[in-house]
């Protein structure tokens, strides 16, 4: 890919606008998370200079390193599997944790956020396609978990996240996205509370336009912005 990060960002933003137009949605409803995992600080700086303020990372250590090296008006999104013993390192640095998938993790976030006197917005990660290899709650586990964490005062439940299966044709994931949207609407209605389900984090480089058509409010795009990942840094 011989395009620059700035050009890639412009392309992705244009695609987001087109997907919104197609779906009759306002592009301001969709937040682009630039997934910068494995990418060095200068790559993130380039995206920042092109106006990007939301970044997604999946490793605690990378968030710690990049947090200190980049401007403070960046919103950091933890999108990867989170080990409980590492929560304390990022709980006061991230704008949102997308990957809450157990009561034990939620309890740890609650405890560490209380110590630092912060309130952490979180999403519940749902394994919609019920793939064996994936983290995430099964659909029937979502509501029992919500019932337990609704009283936690340092966690603010904001919605649901899913990592759809890897597919060649993004259309194959349309029903996964539609299902997550349906689950969130059902939960909001049952709880008579739209706030706890205002965010739907779904869609990656291969399928974010389809995800937007099905209701995504956050898309997580890595390769489409930064190119192939650099696992040797």
Ligand X SMILES: *Cc1c(COP(=O)(O)O)cnc(C)c1O
Alpha-carbon torsion 164, 169, 173, 177, what sign? Answer: positive
Q: Which helix (H) or strand (E) holds 171?
A: none
Fill in the per-residue mask, 173 to 212: x = in contact with ligand X (CB under 6 A), - = not in contact. Answer: -------------------------------xxx------
The distance of closest approach from Cβ of residue 225 to ligand X in the complex, given in angstroms and rounded to an integer, is 8
Q: Is 222 in the site for ligand X (CB under 6 A)?
A: yes
Measured from each CB, the residue nearest to ligand X is 222
Q: Which two structure tokens, joined as six digits, stand for 103? A: 């009561």
CB-based contacts of 139: which residues, under 8 Å, 6+ apart?
126, 128, 130, 183
Tell me the window of 8-16, 47-55, 152-160, 219-227 that interacts with ligand X (CB under 6 A): 219-227
**Pick 48 or 226: Cβ nearer ligand X:** 226
The distance of closest approach from Cβ of residue 115 to ligand X in the complex, given in angstroms and rounded to an integer, is 27
Angle between helical axes of 41-49 and 60-69 (0-180°, round to 10) = 60
Q: Is 102 in the site for ligand X (CB under 6 A)?
A: no
Tell me the window of 23-31, 132-140, 190-198, 214-222 that interacts with ligand X (CB under 6 A): 214-222
**Angle, CA 23 vertex, CA 19 and CA 26 arms, to 5°:** 80
Per the CB < 8 A criterion, the answer to whether 77 and 96 are in contact is: yes
Query: Which long-range CB contacts under 8 A does 110-117 form with residues at least 24 apart?
Result: 110/149, 110/152, 110/153, 110/154, 110/155, 112/87, 112/88, 113/154, 113/155, 114/153, 114/154, 115/88, 116/91, 116/92
Cα atoms in the 13 Å half-sphere on the side-chain side of 123:
30
Q: Is 136 in the site for ligand X (CB under 6 A)?
A: no
Q: Is 79 in the site for ligand X (CB under 6 A)?
A: yes
**Pick 20 or 225: Cβ nearer ligand X:** 225
Query: 77 pairs with which residues across the strands?
Result: 56, 96
The distance of closest approach from Cβ of residue 193 to ligand X in the complex, given in angstroms and rounded to an integer, is 26
Per the CB < 8 A criterion, the answer to whether 90 and 63 are in contact is: yes
Q: Is 159 in the site for ligand X (CB under 6 A)?
A: no
Q: Which two structure tokens, joined as six digits, stand for 67? A: 């947090």
The residue from 8, 58, 173, 209 that contacts ligand X (CB under 6 A) is 58
The residue from 36, 80, 82, 120 that contacts ligand X (CB under 6 A) is 80
Q: Is 35 in the site for ligand X (CB under 6 A)?
A: yes
The distance of closest approach from Cβ of residue 153 to ligand X in the complex, given in angstroms and rounded to an integer, is 27
**Pick 152 or 213: Cβ nearer ligand X:** 213
* Site for ligand X, rule CB under 6 A: 35, 37, 58, 79-80, 163, 204-206, 220-224
């Amino acid at each position: 890919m011989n395009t620059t990060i700035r050009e890639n960002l412009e392309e992705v933003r244009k695609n987001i606008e087109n997907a919104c137009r197609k779906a009759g949605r306002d592009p301001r409803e969709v937040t682009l998370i630039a997934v910068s995992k494995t990418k060095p600080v200068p790559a993130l700086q380039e995206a920042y200079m092109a106006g990007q303020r939301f970044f997604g990372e999946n490793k605690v250590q990378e968030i710690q390193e990049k947090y200190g090296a980049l401007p403070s008006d960046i919103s950091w999104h933890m999108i990867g599997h989170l080990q409980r013993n590492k929560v304390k390192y990022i709980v006061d640095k991230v704008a949102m944790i997308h990957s809450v998938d157990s009561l034990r993790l939620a309890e740890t976030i609650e405890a560490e956020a209380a110590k630092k006197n912060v309130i952490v917005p979180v999403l519940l990660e749902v394994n919609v396609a019920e793939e064996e290899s994936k983290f995430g709650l099964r659909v029937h586990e979502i509501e029992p978990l919500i019932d337990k964490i609704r009283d936690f005062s340092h966690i603010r439940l904001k919605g649901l996240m899913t990592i759809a299966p890897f597919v060649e044709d993004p259309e194959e994931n349309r029903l996964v996205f539609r299902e997550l949207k349906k689950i969130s609407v059902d939960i909001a209605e049952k709880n008579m509370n739209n706030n706890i389900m205002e965010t739907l984090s779904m869609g990656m480089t291969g399928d974010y336009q389809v995800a937007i058509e099905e209701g995504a409010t956050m898309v997580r795009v890595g390769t489409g912005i930064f190119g192939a990942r650099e696992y040797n840094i």
